[in-house]
Amino acid sequence: MGQRARREHLFVETDGQVYLIRDHGNLRFPRAGEKLPFLTEPNGVMDFGTDRVLRQKPRLDHHPEEWLGRDAIFERTDVDPLVKRAIYTTMIRCVSEVILSNGPRVLMVKAVRGFSKGYWNVPGGFMDYGESPEVGVEREAEEEIGVGIRLDGLLNVYVSGFPGKPAYTLGFVYKGHIASDAFRLKPDEIEDVGWFTVDKALTLTRNPFAKWALVDFFLQSNEARFALSVHRHGAAPHVGGPDRPTVFLDRDGVINRGRAGYVRRPDQFQFLPGAIQGMRLLQDRGWQLVIVTNQDAAGWKLLPEAQLAKVHDRMLAGLRKAGVQVAEIYYCPHNVLSDCACRKPRPGMLLAAARDLGARPRSAWMVGDKPMDVQTGRAFGCRTAWVGPKAWRRRFAAEVRPWSPDVVADGLLEAARAIVRYSEDPVVEASRKSRADPTITS
């Protein structure tokens, strides 16, 4: 049998009022192609398999009291189930979680079920009806790990969608400590528990606001900040405050040509076509540029760090001549067998930029040509761009797919243009996602 054609519906809502059409005694969404008595603007996409619901914001000069209020829809029996399902998924869920710390390390639990099944997360969960966030997180965490906790205060409040799902969650995340390490894990929820440094914890969780909370905890914890040691070139004086819009750039394959045997001398450094223009475009639109690069040649003692500094000086001189300023170059001089915080896909270099330069996940992008670059950006909790020639992307398409890059492009200039478009029009996210096929060029 052939696959059913996907049906498209229009979810038009303003101020809690939903526009529905009466059809043979039932109320349903208007379908794509049906004429509406007003103009609309796109406001997101909801995917329900064979049904695709297009969120639309109406242009009206009055409040449509004749439309049906979303709260009343669930009580009615004459409303299409798809309408109820779509409205339900737009209702914000509330969870309360806690980062329990021991010096620079944080406690993570590995889930048996739910959204985080098979992954690690910070303790906590959904709040019960009528429960305050403080009470909810104490109850959930103590149920999961079997020991009492002490809250030290609210870390932050976050809103995030679930990857691949049209639902949003409001997350209250606290700081705290445990009263005892004699854990008694709840067997139907938690299979393991462990203490991890923040850089490692970020690679283990898939919860977006757990990632953001871990970064915030890192920035507020003197012990965690001081424990992170990352090599940097010293490209420019560090200026500016927190939450500076930042684009992290891999080096070889993004800014310059890679080569067999590594770039080991300044005269071997060659800018890729369009790289300088892309960096200038991002700079002109207000982004600070931070280079984060694994340097395997240094790790295998093929490139002394003093020589690496000369390569970077050559690069910076070429950029300055073109009017491009780099905020900093962070580099990992360790080999592939090292269990260091700075080697991508661990996000230690990005955490260092958060500490030193005011970079923050929700206002940052990671641009790289390797799947591990995309994985690093995802670990930090920022948006990602994957660049490279089409043949290169076809070769690594399966490897990068789990990390779902937001932008896929031939090179840095094309990625920069896409990042600028995205930042100027967030609705673009719903209409031009290339996550399903990471060989599409933005």
- Assess whether 252 carries a catalytic annotation: yes
Q: Which residue has the tokens 């990068």?
A: 400
CATH homologous superfamily, domain 93-226? Nucleoside Triphosphate Pyrophosphohydrolase (3.90.79.10)
Burial of 268 (0-12, 13-18, 19+ CB in 10 A): middle
For the chain, the structural domain boundaries read 7-89, 93-226, 228-431
Angstrom distance (rounded) from CA 155 to CA 213:
7
Residue 158 DSSP SS3: strand
pLDDT value at position 165? 57
At 33, is the secondary structure helix, strand, or coil? coil
pLDDT for position 208 = 87
Digit-coded pLDDT (tens) for 75-87: 899 999 999 999 9
> Matching CATH topology for 93-226 and 228-431?
no
Residue 13, strand partner residues: 18
What's the fold here for domain 228-431? Rossmann fold (3.40.50)
Whether residue 406 lies in the annotated active site: no
CA 217, CA 220: separation in Å to the nearest integer?
5
Identify the segments of the chain with pLDDT beneath 50.
Answer: 1-2, 426-442
Tell me the CA distances in angstroms from 19 to 52, 57, 171, one per residue in order.
Answer: 17, 11, 30
What is the structure's pLDDT at 63?
86
Q: What are the b/e assignments for 209-226, b being 16+ CB within 10 Å?
A: bbbbbbbbbbbebeebbe
pLDDT of residue 166: 59
pLDDT (0 to 100) of residue 47? 85
Position 162 scores a pLDDT of 59
Catalytic residue among 252, 369, 373, 406: 252
CA torsion 339→344→350→356, rounded to 10°? 50
Among 199, 250, 369, 373, the one annotated catalytic:
250
Beta strands in 250-297 (DSSP E): 288-294
Q: Is 331 exposed, middle or buried (0-12, 13-18, 19+ CB in 10 A)?
A: buried
Q: Enter the tokens of residue 95.
A: 């969870």
pTM above 0.75, yes or no: yes
Residue 79: what pLDDT? 96
Q: What is the dotted CATH code of the domain comprising 7-89?
A: 3.90.79.10
The torsion region of residue 204 among left (phi > 0), alpha (psi -120 to 50) and beta comes to alpha
Supply the pLDDT for residue 436.
Answer: 31
